[in-house]
Amino acid sequence: MCICAASQLFLSNTNKHTHSSVFLFHNPLCTFFPVPPPPTHTPLRVPVVIPHHTEDRPAPHFLSPARLDVTSPCDPECHKTAPRPSYWDLRHLLAYETLHSNGQLTETAIGIYGYNPNSNTSPAYSSGSSGKAERSRIRRKRQIFGHDGRFSIAGQDFLLKYPFSVAVKLSTGCSGTLVGDRHVLTAAHCVHDGKNYVKGAQRLRVGFLKTNPYAPPTNDKMKFQWIRAKRTHVPKGWIKGNANDIGMDYDYALLELKKPHKRRHMKLGVSPPAQRLPGRRVHFSGFDNDRPGQLVYRFCRASEETSDLLYQHCDAQPGASGSGVYARMWDGRRRRWERKVIGVFSGHQWVERQGASQEFNVAVRITPLKYAQICYWIKGNFMDCREG
């Protein structure tokens, strides 16, 4: 039995050996496994993260080009053994900078209330054996793990249908996901290199696929409609770390557009442990550089995890970083399953361990604290952000 209704979708699947277009008589987001029973747990009560005071900061320089990949010397075991940040550490890490479209830069200190450190614990911390088993199966190939399992979404109708319609392109070369009427979630490294804001960040634009109903269904003819970003929020955890040590844990940013985009957006959700995901599967769509002008969709099984990062082998290339990683989640209030963004695809991670290179594709998990922060950035009212 399929979780969602069957539909006909035209997709193009490409790898280094073949290029073929096929008709699939089901939505690729529709996974054929038994519908899981509704969970019995109550909705997670998330903490409160609200701003305390804001100060002006020196204007950025916008000198370096945006990097579309992230490297880190810290592998999953390194992250698992790192000391858990204290309450005061978290207040510093979740403080944030805001870049305004006029070039003004501000820094905001935050307060945290109702925080339970145990609610942010991942089973990964107590499952070292399974982590080693996963690492032993890591395949050493660049970003495409074996057969290329990505699908280029083809066809004018499907590109503008949910959930594909929530994927957007940033003018710095990354991808993003609509998470509000005028808000886009992306990776911090798409706008900030850890030391300063990148070229194009001040005049950052967000591109929406603009299709021509009279044109043939070839993706290389796609064009974008662009909307300027009004504000860009980046957590200090990224600026402090730049993917060193715990910096990668905070590789996320939120863009506020100058005007509403008038498309359906995807809701945020707190990332559950991987074993609680239906089929342990995650999905994301983005604009991979090796398929210019195409929207590329993929799904795969979530494998290893830490409290802040999710490791998987979803095939991807630079350009897809910043995409919202989503899964089917149970909405207890509405008593139904729905897709929610539970992470941000950070990119391909190269790790040197004992002279050998190991590779992962990594997503930043939306923890309860990150959910509270991002939700507040979107809604401006913590009362609307208490349940994840």
Query: Catalytic site residues?
Result: 189, 245, 321
Say whether 81 sits in a helix, a strand or coil: helix
Distance CA 283, CA 386 (A): 25
As a whole number of angstroms, the longest Cα–Cα distance in the chain is 57
Instruction: Kindly give, in sequence order, each residue whose CB lies less than 8 Å from that of residue 233, ignoring residues fewer than 6 positions away.
Output: 96, 97, 98, 253, 254, 255, 256, 377
Burial class (CB in 10 A: 0-12, 13-18, 19+), 294: buried
Write out the two tokens for 132: 């080693």
Which one, of 56, 52, 137, 47, lies nearest residue 100 by Cα?
56
CA neighbor of 177 nearest in space, from 265, 59, 89? 265
Q: How far is CA 313 from each of CA 133, 163, 328, rounded to the nearest angstrom?
A: 15, 21, 19
Q: To which residue do tokens 């392109």 refer?
A: 169
For residue 287, which amino acid is it?
Answer: F
Nearest residue to 311 via CA among 243, 245, 363, 250: 363
Q: Which residues contact 340 (CB under 8 A, 6 or more apart)?
A: 266, 267, 268, 269, 326, 327, 328, 329
Q: Please give the C-alpha separations between residue 83 and each of 107, 154, 207, 315, in angstroms, as whole numbers.
A: 26, 46, 40, 31
Contact in structure between 225 and 160 (CB atoms under 8 Å):
no
What whole-number distance in Å separates Cα of residue 249 and Cα of residue 272? 16
